[in-house]
Structure 1
Amino acid sequence: MGQLDNRTALVTGASSGIGLAIARRFAAEGASVHLTGRRKAELDAAVAQVGPRGHAVQGDTSDLGDLDRLFTEITHRSGRLDILVANAGVGDYGPLGAITEEEFERTVSINFKGTVFTVQKALPLLKDGASVILLSSSSALRATPGLSVYAATKAAIRSLARTWAAELADRGIRVNALTPGPVETPGLNGLLAAFPPGDRPTAAHPAPPTPLGRIGRPDEIASAALYLAGDNSTFTTGAELFVDGGATQL
C-alpha cells in the first residue's frame, strides 16, 4: 500500500531536479503522475525514470495555449487531479542596473504567471480535498545580490499560497508553499555558473553551506512534498514548509 494509491498528480517542471524527484516519489507511492517540461528529450528521459505511472505532456507553463492542451490531456486520461505541484521555475542572474527586459519577462512569466494560470486552469479538475503545493525558495527570505527578480517571484508564490488557501477552503482544497534551500540540481548549477566567481551567492557556497553543513538533495524535498500531498497533512493549509537545512531559520 502506497501513501498515494489511486490518486492522480501533476508536477510541472518535472524534467529534472526537484520536480523529477517529486514525480518519482509520488509514482513510487502509487500515484499516476503527469509530468510537464519544455524540453522533449529531457522530459522523455524523466518519464522513463518515473516508470509506467508517469505520463509526459511537453509544454511551457507560461504559455496559456500549452496549459490548455495539458489540462485537456489530463481530462481525457484521468478526469481529475488529487495533487498539483507547481514547481516550474527559472532564475537569471541580474544585479540592479543590469536587469534586462528579456530576463525579467522570462523569470516573471514562468515563475509567477505560470504558477497563477497553472492553478487557475487546474481548478475544474481538482477534486474537493485536493492538495496544491507551490514551490517557493529560501531566496525569498535571504538577500542574494543579483537575484532580486527571482527572489521577488518566489516571495509572490508564498503570498499566493496564503490567499488561495483561504479562497479554496470551502472545497477542502489545501494550498501550501514548499520552500527549499540550496539543493543540488541542474538548475542551481546553471544559475551559479552565471555569477561572476567573486559574486556567487553565499546561500550555496559558504563554509558551511547551511547549518547542517551541506546543501540538500532533491529526494529530501520530495519527501516533504509527499507529506503535503498525502493524508498526514490534512489539517495543514496556508503554511510554508521550509526544507533548507536551517538556512533561513538559524
Structure 2
Amino acid sequence: MTKATDFCETPRSGTRLPRAVVTGGSGGIGVPVVRGLLGLGYEVVVLSRRAPSLCDPHLSHIVCDLADTGDIERAGSAIVSAGAPIAVLVHCAGIIEPGAIDGLKADALQRQIAVNFTAPVFLTSLLLPLVRRGGHIAFVNSLAAVYPLPESSVYAAAKAALRSFALALTIEAKPRKISVSSIFPGAVDTPMLEQEMQSGGSVLNFVNPPATPESVAATVIRAVESAHGGEYFRPAIDGIFGRICMGCPKLLRFVLPLFTWIGKRGMKRHARMKRRV
C-alpha cells in the first residue's frame, strides 16, 4: 500500500498546506474535485484502487478497495499515523449494479452497500478525530436517495441511508463547528453511467440531460468553501420533486409513465450527441 505523505510545505514560505482527503479521486466526479481542491491550495490525499491521472507535488495516493473494510482501516490508519489535521473530507466513490429485485445477487448487494454506505460511514468514523475545528465533510450522494429508480433499489436504499447518516452527523459534528454537506446530482456523464445503462439501467436517468462531472465537482467545491453545510440538489427542481415524492410515494407511481416516455427520448438524444463526438 502506498502511504500518505505528511503535510506538504510550500517552497517559499514553508507554511503547511491544509489537508483534504478524497475517496474515488481517480475517476468520474472525483478527478475534477481533486483538481479543484489543488487549485484552492490544499494538499490532497486520494483513496482509490487506481492512482489518479493528475500529477501534482501536493497530491498523494493510498491504494484502497472501498468495498473492503480491512483496506479502509489500513488506509485510515496510514492517514491517522501521519498526524496532520484534516480540513476537508470528500466522499466521491460510488458504484451501481442495476437489476430487478427477483434476480438480485448477494455479491452485487454487498458491493453496493459496502461502497455507497459502509465505506463513507466507516472512513468518517476513523478520520473524524483528525477533522479540525471548522472543517468540512462532503458526501457526493445521488438524486436516487429521494427519487428511487426502478431496477436500482439497492443503490437507492444505500444512498437514502447515506443521506440519513449525513443528517445525523451534522448534529454530532456541530459542537466542533464541523460543517457537513451532501450533494445530490442526477445522472452524470461518466463511465459509471455508461456501464449502468449497458447493464440495464433506468431510462429515467435521461429525463434531464446528464450533467458534466465538472459541473457537479463545482457544486462540491462550492459546498466545501461554504461556512455552512447543507444539501445541494442538481438540478434543484428534481430535488424538490423527489422530496415531495418521498412524502407521497403514490405521486411517483402516477407520473412514472410520463417520465419514462421523456427519459426514452432523452436517452436517444444523448446517444446521438455521443455519436457526434
**TM-score, scaled to structure 2:** 0.76
Aligned-residue CA RMSD in angstroms?
A: 1.8
Letter in 2 for 1:54: L
The residue that corresponds to 1:225 in the other structure is: 220
The residue that corresponds to 2:94 in the other structure is: 89
Q: How does 1:24-173 map to 2 (within 5 A)?
A: 24-38=35-49, 40=50, 43=51, 46=52, 48-77=53-82, 79-173=84-178
- Structure 1 unaligned blocks of 5 or more: none
Letter in 1 for 2:216: I
SS in 1 for 2:203: coil
CA distance in 1, matches of 2:116, 2:37: 23
CA distance in 2, matches of 1:144, 1:71: 33
CA shift, 1:123, in A, is: 1.2
CA shift, 1:68, in A, is: 2.8
**Cα distance per residue 1:217-239 (max 9 Å; x no partner):** 11111111111212xx21x23x2
Contact 1:180 1:243 in 2 (8 A): yes
CA distance in 2, matches of 1:217, 1:202: 18
SS in 1 for 2:238: coil
CA distance in 2, matches of 1:81, 1:244: 30
- Structure 2 unaligned blocks of 5 or more: 1-15, 242-277
If you compute each CA radius of gyration, which structure gives the higher value, 1 or 2? 2
**Cα distance per residue 1:106-127 (max 9 Å; x no partner):** 1111111111101000112111
CA distance in 1, matches of 2:174, 2:25: 27
The residue that corresponds to 1:191 in the other structure is: 196
Number of aligned positions between the proteins: 226
CA distance in 1, matches of 2:218, 2:236: 14
Letter in 2 for 1:241: Y
Q: Residue 210 of structure 2: which of 212, 215, 230 is its match?
A: 215
The residue that corresponds to 2:203 in the other structure is: 202
CA distance in 1, matches of 2:55, 2:62: 14
- With CA pairs under 8 Å and 6+ residues apart, which has the higher RCO, 1 or 2? 1
CA shift, 1:165, in A, is: 0.5
Contact 1:33 1:54 in 2 (8 A): yes
CA distance in 1, matches of 2:101, 2:219: 34
SS in 2 for 1:36: strand
Q: Residue 240 of structure 1: which of 227, 231, 235 is its match?
A: 231
Query: Which deviates more from structure 2 when the two are superposed, residues 60-69 or residues 154-163?
Result: 60-69
Letter in 2 for 1:221: V
CA shift, 1:143, in A, is: 3.3
Query: Which deviates more from structure 2 when the two are superposed, residues 64-73 or residues 120-129?
Result: 64-73
Contact 1:176 1:228 in 2 (8 A): yes
